Structure 1
Amino acid sequence: MNVYGSSMKPTSHRIYWIVAGVTFLTLLVSAGVRSTPGVLIIPLEQSFGWDRTAVTFPLAINLALYGLCGPFAAAFMERYGIRRIMIIALSLLAIGTSLSSLMKSEWHMAILWGVVVGLGTGLTSSVLGAVVANKWFKERRGLIVGMFTASGATGQLIFLPLFAKITSSYSWQAVVWVTSAASLIVVLLVVWLMRNKPDDAGVLPYGAVEASEVDEQRQTNPFVSVVNGLRAGIRSKDFWLLAGSFFICGLSTNGLIGTHFIPHSIEHGIPEVRASSMLAVIGIFDIMGTIASGWLTDRWDSRWLLFWYYGLRGFSLLLLPYAIGESSFGLVLFIVFYGLDWVATVPPTVRLCADSFGKESGVVFGWIWASHQLGAATAAFGGGVLHSLFGDYQLTFLLAGLSCLVASGLVVKIRKNNKPVVRHLA
């Protein structure tokens, strides 16, 4: 039986927003799980006597797998359906987080938070939002991708202050149980409401008027699709420019600020709950910036949007080491400017990838997203190593800021108004 009702007309918009809402909640909970380690770093050090490098190594594994799963996730969604992959991913999050309450050794954390949670979040990465947007929306894709991308900031906004409060009032184990319960709740919503493609509900993609405008789902070997997607990408200059700039994007966002901002703030005398709240406020500006970026992506040259996004982020990171130790005005300035483009880079990057690779952009974007998360893993572990060597994060933030300025130079070299270079990979 059709969960949306047998009397639903193909022109109704309700189904699109149900699917978008379930996808948003999935990405939100996944973002909440990903944000958890930033709150747990110092409690884990205090509970087990681990140093910063030992705690951040599993997080680097997590971030790397989060990215490397991207191209496979896109291919698996094409082969087995979006809904099934979402259920598997959320189940992995529930299992990994709940079992981590029992961990005693560093290798336990590496397996649970590094591998199990890394695989779960990887299957619900930004690739999920891109695939859902491309399948369900012919129009307003930029806005939808912006909304899905903003789910990360929304998850951060909701969960970070909550997790910090739970940690300070109860224990870090209580935090992982909350994340596990949230994952299980969303699994039930996905089972009940999610559909793989518009045809399953008897509708066309939003904005489509003819069936000929619908992309057919090809039953190909997902591993072949992934390899062929990479092969097609590496032959394109634009792929390397997108992957290189997105590597820096990951390095300067969830790998750096998402992992190290709270410990950095605590070391400068800012209580953990307040530090988490500041990171959540960054999330508020991120929501506004990312949705605005989606709107702008539908109207402006994505290359120049990325130029300004990376430049603004670079200058804000160069400011941070000095802002956090000085007046509150400098810190507020950082929160506003950095927050506005935390992940505002995603909608224009997805657009440029779609322009270059057409129907195969889902798998190719998966590889570009993998580059993003390898950058994040580099910053998560590298920041821990540099902290162990120098005792602070100043050099880490300065290097990240300069890298963003390099990314600004890379994105303007992407060709304008690309015609898709790949039409069929398998």
Structure 2
Amino acid sequence: MTRTASPIHYSWVVAAVTLLILVVSAGIRSIPGVLMLPFETEFGWDRATISMAASVNLFLYGMVGPFGASIAERVGIRQTTTGALLVILVGLVITPWISQPWHLVVLWGGLVGISAGMMAGWLGAVVASRWFVARRGVVTGVFSANSAAGQLVFLPVLAAVTHIWGWRTATGICAAVIALVAPLTWRFLRDWPSDVGSTAYGSSEADVPAARPRPAGNPFSGAIATLVDVARYRTFWLLASTFFICGASTNGLIGTHLISASHDHGIQEVTAASMLAFIGIFDLIGTTGSGWLTDRFQSRTLLTWYYGLRGISLILLPMAYDAGTFGLGAFIVFYGLDWVATVPPTIRLAADHFGRARVGTVFAWVLASHQLGAAAIAYLAGALRVAYGDYESAFWMSGALCIVAAVLTRMIRRSPDLTLPAVVVATPLTAGARPA
């Protein structure tokens, strides 16, 4: 397929569609935080029960990601992503008829969690790696801010709609949005620049591969083979461990429970949702800036600062609630700038240490640990709230974990470990490669 000259490089078209997908999917996944209080009121379910569905969703979202990346490497990004969006649409259409806790767990924990996981993390990493040479760090930073942007766009609107017309109307709006995004994805998203007769943005002749890599074989065994390959290296486990803590301190705790925690302090749901949206605004700045910094400074040093500062902000959050508007405003700015700033340097470390051929699957496994952390804290924070009547212990625990993550980042090797080939083979990946 050859395109005529255009003033806009097609890499930016793919980037725009990818960003739209990431924003919408992130916004859809944030719905449980808005629906927790309405479900508690209408059905009488306690927060631990509702948190279980959110926990299952976060767990499956992360664990399915590597297999989604492996499938996309074989059948294509466009096919995989469009199919996942259509399954999410089915889940949204069914949601208004739920009436039992297990309905919520199966539908939102299972169906939506699995289908969202088919696009988890790897999509932005793969698009940035394949379609950009110049501006790759900045593009990665913008993609990484998709969770914040999704909250920015969806949360205040969904909270207001839920407050005025009910949660069923809110899920209907989400279904309509997905119904619009899916055909746009099919029309404009492409796997490689060569699919449209182009090259990656900012590339030279030396950057163009002689042959486009296309892994063969079973995608599920391919994902497992990649995990086996990288599991021998300490760097992978350090990235996975720190990202576990990243998930616990963001999506699992703040993304799931901030609205409920704010309600405990007398803050209305719509106001609390707006707080999350403002966190999203500052994260757009922070994560895009993190991408810029990742192009210029050592990634592991950036991670040390990010985790350390996040830990301090979470430890101080109970005092911020007590301080009122000024204290919460300071937390929103400070924490928001750090929300997912960890993603660009983590992706850079994964690509530098293990190569770009399978960076999507490698990062998807790292992201799986992120979602394990998110799932664990999403449930644990709800259980602690039921047991003790507040979220203080959850905030302090997550803050302490972030300090641990800051220490772990200093143990990441400076030099790359190995480069993974695009096609899974039975022979050793790199002659002489040694586990770190």
Shorter-normalised TM range: over 0.9
Q: Name the counterpart of 1:364.
A: 362
Q: Does 1:240 align with 2:241?
A: no
Q: Does 1:72 align with 2:72?
A: no
Q: Does 1:88 align with 2:83?
A: yes
Equivalents in 1 of 2:263, 2:230: separation in Å? Answer: 42
- C-alpha deviations, 1:364-395, integer Å up to 9, x for none? 11110000000000011111111111111000
Q: Does 1:323 align with 2:331?
A: no
Q: Does 1:287 align with 2:289?
A: no
Q: Does 1:417 align with 2:415?
A: yes
Equivalents in 1 of 2:8, 2:342: separation in Å? Answer: 28
Query: What is the identity, as a one-letter code, of the residue corresponding to 1:200?
Result: D
Equivalents in 1 of 2:159, 2:320: separation in Å? Answer: 23
**2:144 corresponds to which of 143, 149, 162:** 149
Structure 1 residue matching 2:252: 3-state secondary structure: coil
Equivalents in 1 of 2:98, 2:420: separation in Å? Answer: 46
Aligned residues: 421
Q: Name the counterpart of 1:190.
A: 185
Mapping of 1:57-206 within 5 angstroms? 57-206=52-201
Query: What is the identity, as a one-letter code, of the residue corresponding to 1:391?
Result: G
The two structures have a TM-score, normalised by structure 2, of: 0.94
Q: Name the counterpart of 1:405.
A: 403
Equivalents in 2 of 1:304, 1:220: separation in Å? Answer: 39
- Aligned pair in 2 of structure 1 residues 203, 220: CA closer, same or farther (>3 Å)? farther
* Alpha-carbon distance, 1:276 to partner: 0.5
CA contact (8 A) 2:140 2:344 kept: yes
Question: Once structures 1 and 2 are overlaid, which stretch shifts more, 72-81 or 412-421?
Answer: 412-421
**1:337 corresponds to which of 326, 334, 337:** 334
Q: Does 1:385 align with 2:383?
A: yes
Equivalents in 2 of 1:188, 1:378: separation in Å? Answer: 35
Equivalents in 2 of 1:388, 1:421: separation in Å? Answer: 47
Question: Once structures 1 and 2 are overlaid, which stretch shifts more, 218-227 or 279-288?
Answer: 218-227
User: RMSD of aligned C-alpha atoms?
Assistant: 1.4
Equivalents in 1 of 2:359, 2:79: separation in Å? Answer: 21
CA contact (8 A) 1:357 1:423 kept: no
* Alpha-carbon distance, 1:399 to partner: 0.1
* Alpha-carbon distance, 1:13 to partner: 4.4
* Alpha-carbon distance, 1:403 to partner: 0.2
* Alpha-carbon distance, 1:99 to partner: 0.6
Equivalents in 2 of 1:329, 1:20: separation in Å? Answer: 37
Equivalents in 2 of 1:349, 1:212: separation in Å? Answer: 23
* Alpha-carbon distance, 1:419 to partner: 4.8
* Alpha-carbon distance, 1:361 to partner: 2.2
* Alpha-carbon distance, 1:330 to partner: 1.5
Query: What is the identity, as a one-letter code, of the residue corresponding to 1:313?
Result: R
* Alpha-carbon distance, 1:6 to partner: 3.5
Question: Once structures 1 and 2 are overlaid, which stretch shifts more, 245-254 or 209-218?
Answer: 209-218
Structure 2 residue matching 1:324: 3-state secondary structure: helix
Question: Once structures 1 and 2 are overlaid, which stretch shifts more, 279-288 or 189-198?
Answer: 189-198
The two structures have a TM-score, normalised by structure 1, of: 0.96
CA contact (8 A) 1:92 1:119 kept: no
Question: Once structures 1 and 2 are overlaid, which stretch shifts more, 274-283 or 132-141?
Answer: 132-141
CA contact (8 A) 1:246 1:372 kept: yes
- Aligned pair in 2 of structure 1 residues 236, 419: CA closer, same or farther (>3 Å)? closer
Q: Name the counterpart of 2:434.
A: none
CA contact (8 A) 2:9 2:201 kept: no
- C-alpha deviations, 1:170-201, integer Å up to 9, x for none? 10111111111111110011121111211110
Question: Once structures 1 and 2 are overlaid, which stretch shifts more, 204-213 or 335-344?
Answer: 204-213
* Alpha-carbon distance, 1:213 to partner: 3.0
Q: Name the counterpart of 1:24.
A: 19
* Alpha-carbon distance, 1:210 to partner: 2.1
- Structure 1: stretches of 5+ with no match in the other structure: none
Question: Once structures 1 and 2 are overlaid, which stretch shifts more, 142-151 or 239-248?
Answer: 142-151
Q: Does 1:40 align with 2:35?
A: yes
* Alpha-carbon distance, 1:341 to partner: 0.8
Equivalents in 2 of 1:296, 1:324: separation in Å? Answer: 32
Identical columns (%): 48
CA contact (8 A) 2:27 2:155 kept: yes
Query: What is the identity, as a one-letter code, of the residue corresponding to 1:368?
Result: V
Q: Name the counterpart of 2:430.
A: none
Equivalents in 1 of 2:14, 2:136: separation in Å? Answer: 14
* Alpha-carbon distance, 1:221 to partner: 2.3
Structure 2 residue matching 1:256: 3-state secondary structure: helix
Q: Name the counterpart of 2:429.
A: none
Q: Does 1:394 align with 2:392?
A: yes
CA contact (8 A) 1:83 1:195 kept: yes
* Alpha-carbon distance, 1:211 to partner: 6.8
